[in-house]
Copies of this chain bind each other. A is one copy, B any other.
Amino acid sequence: MDEIIREPKQKRAIEKKEKIIEAGFNLICKNGYYNTNTAQIAKEANVSTGIIYQYFKDKHDIFLNGLEKYGNDIFFPILKVKNKKIDVKNFNKMMKNMINEYIKNHKLSKTAHEEITAMMHSDKDVAKYFYNKELETTKSIKNLLIENKFIDNNLNEKVHIMIGMIDNLCHEVIYHKHKDMNYDIMTDIVINNIKELFKNDISI
């Protein structure tokens, strides 16, 4: 009845907890939450099944820890970009680089993406995580723009739309591969559209 969740203090114990998170998150990303069981996680982490419940409340808790730890890298790499100057004159090139970076990142963890996006819809905690991160991302980009002298003319909304477009584009490129779709052209159209979005907001 007493929930005795230990917070490990010894080095080895901490490493063990980290290993469990890593193993659990990886397996769940690869095979899905419901197709991953604690025995597999324990095995992958080189740990006994029993120990898991000394560090985590339950299976769900492992996943959440993983999301907290690795989620940013997979879903919000943009949050890492700091103090970057926006080069208005080379906007196209800059955007293309950013999109390619985004796509590269997605590709690295294709199944992770699929599985976790899935959970976002059925798992309140995961949903909350994404909600907050998206907010944070919007704010972060908005600040970046303001630092670069953009005028705050419904910036919130515009940034959100922009992120959505980039997301869709990347998603399309990575997963769908519609045969009659030219992704280079699509990218250009998207970039142009984004430019259009902000065309009156650049102060200089």
Contacts of A161 in B (CB 8 A): 165, 168-169, 186, 189-190, 193
Residue of B nearest to A184 (CB): B157
Identify A40's interface contact among B2, B35, B189, CB under 8 A: B2
Q: How many copies of this chain does one complex carry?
A: 4
Q: With A165-B164, A193-B196, A196-B196 in contact, do A157 and B186 touch (Cβ < 8 Å)?
A: yes
Does A39 contact B4, Cβ atoms closer than 8 Å?
yes
| CB-contacts of A120-143 with B (<8 A) | 120-122, 131, 134-135, 138
In the assembled complex, the CB of A6 is this many whole angstroms from the nearest CB of chain B, namely 9
Identify A186's interface contact among B113, B115, B160, B165, CB under 8 A: B160
**Could you say which interface size class chain A belongs to?**
35 or more
Does B168 contact A164, Cβ atoms closer than 8 Å?
yes
Does A157 contact B182, Cβ atoms closer than 8 Å?
yes
Contacts of A119 in B (CB 8 A): 118
| CB-contacts of A165-204 with B (<8 A) | 165, 167-169, 172, 176, 178, 180-182, 185-186, 189-190, 193, 196-197
Contacts of A113 in B (CB 8 A): 121
Contacts of A40 in B (CB 8 A): 2, 4
Contacts of A1 in B (CB 8 A): 31, 35
Given A138-B178, A161-B189, A193-B197, 6 further pairs, Cβ under 8 A? A113-B121, A114-B122, A154-B189, A156-B178, A160-B186, A168-B168
Shortest 7 CB-CB distances between A and B: which pairs?
A: A164-B168, A118-B121, A114-B121, A118-B118, A157-B186, A32-B122, A34-B34
Interface residues of A (CB under 8 A from B): 1-2, 4, 31-32, 34-35, 39-40, 43, 113-115, 117-122, 131, 134-135, 138, 154, 156-158, 160-161, 164-165, 167-169, 172, 176, 178, 180-182, 185-186, 189-190, 193, 196-197
